[in-house]
Amino acid sequence: MLGLVTSPAAAQQPVILKVAIVQQIDSMNPFLAVFQSSTEIGRLMYDYLTAYAAADQAVTEGLANRWEPSADKLTWTFTVPEGKKWSDGQAITAQDVAFTYRLMMTDEVARTANGSFVANFQDVTAPDDRTVVIRTKTPQVTMLALDVPIVPRHVWEKVSAIKDYANDRMPVVGSGPFVLTEHVAGQFIKLKANKQYWRGAPKYDELHFVYFQNSDAAVQALAKGEVDLVNRMAPAQFDSLDGKTGVTRNKAQGRRFTELMINPGAQTRTGEPIGDGNPALRNVAVRRAIAQAVDLDALVQRVNLGYAEKGAGLVPPVFGKWHWQPSEKELRKFDPAAANAALDAAGYPRGADGTRFGLRLVGRAGRAYDEQASEYLKRSMSDIGIPLDVRLVSDNQLNEATTAATYDLAFSGWATNIDPDFVLGLHTCAQRPGADGKGGTTDTYFCDETYDKLYAQQLSEFDEAKRVEIVKQMQARFYDQVPAVVLAYDNALEGYRSDHFARFTTQPAQGGVIMAQNGMWGYYGAEPAVRAAASSGAGWQGFALVGAALAVLAAAFVIMARRRRATAGERE
């Protein structure tokens, strides 16, 4: 029998999925990571207690495969089955789960990224290696939506200070489908398939995230075949790939919203002022006037080119029942004349130069939306006598400015989970930082007694219809108090090299996204177009090697055909 002739180089080449990213990494430490880029990679490295299915986003098995609440909903018992392993071969047990949650409960810094999930925990125990018991202070409806990466106890119990731990001892021990093996800041992140993964190893060998200065460069790299997957494209970039050979586009309802934050007078949890926001913005009438001067319909058409839906509440339309839209009475219609009158009435008349006061607007350099929308907002704010000083900076500089509250207006945005609790929790008083500026992850420094009471109510409400109504009341309160203007719910605009990877798993199955999922299915389920082919640092030379092998095979077939006249033979 004559087999396929393959060169040793082709046989040894790993199959690599290359993904373009333009956002910097804030931390590889899962207790500190907040940027979407960082949490995206974290989902590949660490499983959660439960997961969301790819097909329909229903709750499914994570590290736990069974769970049961007590009759009073105050005690939850989870089962961590035998057979699941960390990437270093050690068994995953209930002790790892209990360690992770207890660390967050006792260490304020460990609560930075996801502290709201454990704020209501009374205690967490692991009576044996298979059982985790969580007791809560009050019933907590999010117990099957604890989006907290579970870390290996045998690694993290040796960490002396969470705030100083970069989680960069390669390879990083994890439980997810990929293992972090190399990270060069601003250049690339490399992961390898986890052969110990309990769901089974991915169908390719390595996953590389490659940094680009801006989305234009990333899209050009996709068009040239230098990378295989790009998301969060600008509308014009997405349109430019229409009909491009070897490229498949994916447009889906996204789970993200873009917002314009308005500094409402930032404070710590104890009420100490933070930052240097313009004092005028502490007046809700001023914030409402600013919002009224922004034409959201025009922004969606001119900046998003129609690839978005006009913003309103904190939960995007893709999450149907939780999504809130203002009634006719609640709706804040675009009306510059009314905004001008409101500012006059609030005690901020125009001066001799026609201006009232100036504001700083900070956004991200290299992001097309921020660049274009800032120009639009400059014109909009000038119509109400507020000149804008626009500063477009790096991801980390933007994060520093918003964390320190050294901004007046700022572009931001969040991905919303299937359960809305996390994004709602970002706006509670408790999420503001402590006196040292650490702990908690607040979005806008919003602190409102009415909102907080509603948040506590929804967290303990197990009647879904009642909880939905409370969640909508919270969004209405946020909209009314205007610590931010939700500008748009962006469509997910993605593209991939279908000549390199035949398919990706979307979430949900129908009309879903590939990247920025509530899970890791897009990367985990990727299937190479030619499994024997390989990618390398310079591109897809593996295809050339396979081509050469096929040429040798063809020649061999000719020889065999000639011999066949005299002897029996067969070819596979």
Q: Which of 431, 504, 446 is nearest to 478 (CA)?
A: 446
Q: Would residue 87 count as lying in a domain?
A: yes
Q: What pairs with residue 52 in β-bridges?
A: 59
- The CATH number of the domain holding residue 153 is 3.90.76.10
CATH code (residue 341): 3.10.105.10
CA–CA gap between residue 140 and residue 469 (Å, rounded): 17
Position 239 in a domain: no
In a shared domain, residues 342 and 436: yes
pLDDT given for residue 440 in this prediction: 72
- Say if 246 falls within a structural domain: no
**Taking a C-beta distance cutoff of 8 angstroms, is the pair 104, 114 a contact?**
yes
How many domains is the chain partitioned into structurally?
3
Task: Find, among 399, 447, 455, the residue nearest to 422 by Cα.
Answer: 455
CB 215 within 8 A of CB 368: yes
User: Which residues of the chain fall short of a pLDDT of 70?
Assistant: 1-11, 437-439, 531-572
Q: How far apart are CA 293 and CA 550, in angstroms?
A: 64
Q: Are residues 162 and 68 in the same domain?
A: yes
> Do 426 and 542 have their domain in common?
no
Q: Are residues 343 and 314 in the same domain?
A: yes
Domain CATH number, residue 209: 3.40.190
In a domain, 59, yes or no: yes
Please tell me whether residues 468 and 330 are part of one structural domain: yes
Q: Which of 176, 197, 216 is the last residue of a domain?
A: 176
Instruction: Give domain status of residue 242, yes or no.
Output: no
Q: Which two tokens stand for residue 549?
A: 């092998």
Q: Give the pTM.
A: 0.86
Q: Could you tell me if 460 and 559 lie in one domain?
A: no
Query: Which residues, in sequence order, are bridge partners of residue 219?
Result: none
Q: Does residue 5 sit within a domain?
A: yes
Q: Please check whether residues 349 and 462 belong to one and the same domain.
A: yes
Phi, psi values for residue 251, rounded to 5°: -115, 125
Residues 487 and 506 in one domain: no
* Upper half-sphere CA count for residue 433 (Cβ side, 13 Å): 17
Tokens for 487? 């500008």
Domain boundary among 176, 193, 219: 176
Q: What range does the domain containing 466 cover?
A: 256-492
486 within domain boundaries: yes
In whole angstroms, what is the distance from residue 274 CA to residue 181 CA? 39
Query: Can you tell me whether residue 138 is helix, strand or coil?
Result: coil
In a domain, 166, yes or no: yes
Tens-place pLDDT, residues 138-155: 999 999 999 999 999 999
CA–CA separation, 324 vs 317, rounded Å?
A: 8
Tell me whether strands 66-69 and 388-393 are parallel, antiparallel or unpaired. Answer: unpaired
pLDDT for res 553: 34
Q: Give which of 239, 257, 271 is closest to 412, Cα–Cα.
A: 257
pLDDT for residue 404: 94
Q: Radius of gyration (Cα) for the chain, nearest Å?
A: 26
What's the DSSP call for residue 507?
B
* Contact criterion met (CB below 8 Å) for 191 and 181: yes
Domain termination residue (choose one: 467, 492, 517): 492
Give alpha helix (H) positions in 354-463. Answer: 368-382, 395-404, 421-425, 449-459
Whether 480 and 451 share a structural domain: yes
Same-domain pairing of 170 and 187? no
Do 414 and 272 belong to one domain?
yes
Same domain for 268 and 395, yes or no, is yes
